[in-house]
Amino acid sequence: MNEIKETLLQHDISPSYHRLKIYEYLLDNRIHPTVDRIYSDLIKNIPTLSKTTVYNTLRSLTEKGLVSQITIENNEVRYDAAVDFHGHFKCMKCGALYDINLDPEGLPDKIDGHSITERHYYFKGICKNCSSR
């Protein structure tokens, strides 16, 4: 918990109880949860939490680069505490979103003369758990 507090302080986020809990949840649950999922999981133990707090906290965490936003389906924004370079695989059967290790080496900085500042790699299919069933 102290490490989490330090990280927030280092990123100019004042570590309120709610913010600590939300960031801790994201670090512990690498399931790329939606706002609704985060809220409904945390409200069980933190009855004082509001959805607005969850939204605002996620916005600060994203702005400070501690969390990244993932949008695969238009209506579904998910949050990821892993901000190092990786891709995502979405299972069309169970809906799980997996982290995929990708090697950033050798990728171009420019495409057709355009400078790249962000990259998103999404894959869809049937995950290994679903296909072995």
Is residue 130 close enough to count as binding Zn ion by CB under 5 A?
yes
Binding range to Zn ion, per CB under 5 A, among 1-9, 59-67, 91-99, 105-113: 91-99
Size of the site for Zn ion (CB under 5 A): 8
Q: Is 116 in the site for Zn ion (CB under 5 A)?
A: no
Measured from the Cβ of residue 90, the count of other Cβ atoms closer than 10 Å reads: 20
Mutual angle of helices 17-28 and 2-10, in 10-degree steps: 110
| Pairing mode of beta strands 110-111, 114-115 | antiparallel
Q: Which two tokens stand for residue 24?
A: 């801790």
* Options 94, 102, 107, 116; binder of Zn ion; rule CB under 5 A: 94
How far CA 84 is from CA of 42, 65, 97, 101, in Å, comes to: 25, 10, 16, 10
Mark out the alpha helices in the chain (DSSP H runs): 2-10, 17-28, 35-42, 51-63, 128-131
Report the residue from 60, 78, 80, 81 that binds Zn ion according to the rule CB under 5 A: 80
Q: Minimum distance between the CB of residue 34 and Zn ion, rounded to whole angstroms?
A: 13
| Residue 93 in the binding site for Zn ion (CB under 5 A) | yes
Minimum distance from residue 119 beta carbon to Zn ion (Å): 13
Residues that bind Zn ion (CB under 5 A): 80, 82, 91, 93-94, 99, 127, 130
